[in-house]
Amino acid sequence: MKILRAFLVASLLCGAASSGIHASEDSLQITNVRVTLEGGNKGSIKVTREILVKLDYTYSGKGTFQLWATLDEDDGTYDGSDSIGPGKGTLERRIRPSTPGTITEISIQASDEHQQTILEMEHPVNIEVLDDPQVAARREEGKGSSARILRFIPASPAKVKQGTEIKIEIEYDMKGSAPLQLWAQAEAGCCATYEGSEGISGKGRITRTITAGKGAVVTGVIIKIGNAAGATLFEEEVPVSFTVE
C-alpha cells in the first residue's frame, strides 16, 4: 500500500547511516540505510505516520528479488515490494507504526524469485511512537467484523511446486462504513509472501493468494482484518498442510 501525499521528513537520521557494506549475503549487498520521519519531528512520530527507509543496494544474482522493511511483531503496515532485477540502485520503503512505544530496530528482509530468503538484517534506530487522540478514536471502526475461509485451491493437504500460488477463497462481513483491510498469511517457518489489501466494505467474497519457498511446509493460514487506525479487528488461524517441492 503506497500513500500518495506530500512527504515531509525530519532532517535527523534515526540511527547512524551506514557507509560501506552494511549487510551482505552473497548476491545482495545493502551498502547504506537512511531513515527519516514524516512530519518534521526529531526522533518521534505519531502512530500511523510514515517512517521512510532508503536503502542503497547492489544485486548480482540471477533473476529478480523482493525486499521489505518492517517492524517487529508485525506492528503497523508496510510497503509491498515489486520485483527488482540485477544492478545497483536505491529503494524506498515506508512503514506506518500502529502501536505507541519505542522502536529500536527496523527489520529488512529480501527473497529471490523462488521465495528463498537471501538477506535478513536489523537496522538500529531510536524512534518514539506517540499516540494520536484522533487515531485512538478510530480504533473501534469496524468492530465486530469477521471472515471465514471457504476453500483452498488446491485443497489441503497437498504437495505443490515451487512458485505455485495457493488460492484462498474467503467470505467476509465488514461492519461500519469505513473500508477495512483483509489479509491471508502463511505459517510456513520460512520465507512466504502474501497479497496486500485494498479497502473492503460490506459483505462478500474475495480470493487471496500465498506462495512459499522450496522446502517450506505451510502448516496454517491466518486471516486478519484491520482498520486504518492499525487495529486488528479479527484474526483466525486455519490449520493446513502444503509442502512446497
Grid cell locating 91: 529503494
Residue of 62, 41, 61, 60 whose CA lies nearest to 50 = 41
Residue 111, all three cell numbers: 527473497
| pLDDT reported for residue 40 | 63
Give the three-class secondary structure for 136. helix
> 31 in helix, strand or coil?
strand
- Please state which CATH class domain 23-136 belongs to: mainly beta
* Burial grade of 100 (CB within 10 A; 0-12, 13-18, 19 or more): middle
* pLDDT given at position 163: 83
The pLDDT profile of the chain, 245 residues, written as one tens digit per residue, is: 333 222 222 222 333 333 333 444 578 999 999 999 987 667 999 998 999 999 999 999 889 999 999 997 667 888 888 899 999 999 999 999 988 999 999 999 998 888 788 999 999 999 999 999 988 888 899 999 999 999 999 999 999 998 889 999 999 999 999 999 999 999 886 667 888 888 999 999 999 999 888 888 999 999 999 998 888 999 999 999 999 88
Q: Which of 122, 79, 75 is CA-nearest to residue 102? A: 75
Asked if domains 23-136 and 146-244 share a fold, the reply is: no
**pTM of the entire predicted model:** 0.67
Confidence (pLDDT) at 197? 86
First to last CA, the chain: 31
* Structural domain spans, the chain: 23-136, 146-244
* 149/167 Cα distance (integer angstroms): 11
- CB neighbour list of residue 74: distance below 8 Å, 6 or more residues apart: none
pLDDT, position 180: 96
- Nearest-angstrom CA–CA distance, 6 and 8: 6
SS3 153: strand
Q: What is the pLDDT of residue 184?
A: 95
Strand 101-112, strand 65-70: pairing: antiparallel
Q: What pLDDT sits at residue 25?
A: 57
CATH class of the domain at 146-244:
mainly beta
